Amino acid sequence: MQRVNLENWSYTRYENKNFMALITFGADPESIQTNEFQYYVTVIQDEEKEIFQSNFDSISEACLYLNSNYGDWTLNDQTAKKSGCSTCAAH
């Protein structure tokens, strides 16, 4: 079974109906001063409404959390070739 991992976390996500669970990265005022990133596991509803977010100091921790909590959802690889009328980046 394919999972979100250290190589694919930036372009894969889990989906379940109108929900997505994914990892992003960013920083807060303290971590910006030390040039450290934080990794965020975020659940989004209808591609716009944030439902949940938790932050982690390492990508490994974020992957473990994401897979443990949302790994039973459908894994969607955003780089996979698509077919049909919705193949452009706007869809």
pLDDT score of 28: 80
Q: Is residue 85 part of a domain?
A: no
pTM exceeding the 0.85 threshold for the entire prediction: no
31 pLDDT above the threshold of 60: yes
Q: Within 13 A of 21's CA, how many CA atoms are on the CB side?
A: 23
Range of the domain at 24: 12-75
Query: What's the domain count of the chain?
Result: 1
* Residue 65 domain-assigned (yes or no): yes
Confidence of residue 87 (pLDDT cuts 50, 70, 90): low
pLDDT band at 30 (very low <50, low <70, confident <90, very high): confident
Is 6 a residue whose pLDDT tops 60? Answer: yes
| Residues in contact with 20: Cβ distance below 8 Å, sequence separation at least 6, in sequence order | 13, 14, 43, 44, 47, 76
Residue 3 falls within a domain, yes or no? no
* Token pair of 84 as six digits: 């049909």
50: phi then psi, degrees, rounded to nearest 5: -75, 125
Residue 89 lies in a domain: no
